[in-house]
Amino acid sequence: RRSSTHRSCVTRPVNGGRNHMDLTSAARIGQIHREMAELCLALKPPVDELSDQLGRLSRKALEIGVSDAAADLDRMCAASDRLQALTAELIGAPQPAAPEGRAWLAGHEHLRHDLRTPLNAVRGYGELLMEDWQEGGASRLMPELRQVIATANQLLSMIDDH
């Protein structure tokens, strides 16, 4: 026959009831946090390169007088800036503590979307500019623009594959 002391030990909650998140959720949050940090570390060099490419393209467009592209190039640069800020934020983000973990996990579902959105903007505006420049005679800018689009596609693939 078991003693009453033994029964109370068996039914006592893990961690004295302090942690409302089960260990599986905490482990999952830790795993996802590590994966996102690794992804953002891998994305950082090509994200920085994309920003540099866009800066060079914008300067070159101004130099040769392609002023009708300024608004689209500004939008592409702004999207690249958002992507740089997000990757930097995710690289340096501490792993959430258990109480905040569930909210962080729910927000994580949108992180890949948040990373893809500025890249899709860069690619979309780039494709529009490519059409305009093919018709408008700004062919000197086409190699740089193709490289910007290729880098955005590479980053999208990295996000999809990770």
Instruction: Name the residue with tokens 């005679």.
Output: 137
pLDDT band at 21 (very low <50, low <70, confident <90, very high): very low
pLDDT band at 103 (very low <50, low <70, confident <90, very high): confident
Averaged pLDDT, 94-100: 71
Cα angle vertex 157, ends 155, 162, to 5°? 100
Query: What is the reported pLDDT for 124?
Result: 97
| Phi-psi group of 137: left, alpha or beta (phi > 0 → left; psi -120 to 50 → alpha; rest → beta) | left
Instruction: Name the residue with tokens 């994200």.
Output: 47
Locate 127 and state its tokens.
Answer: 């494709």
Averaged pLDDT, 87-109: 75
Average pLDDT, the chain: 82
Instruction: State what percent of residues in the chain have pLDDT above 70.
Output: 79
The model's pLDDT over 129-161, given as tens digits with 9 standing for 90+, comes to 999 888 777 888 999 999 999 999 999 999 998
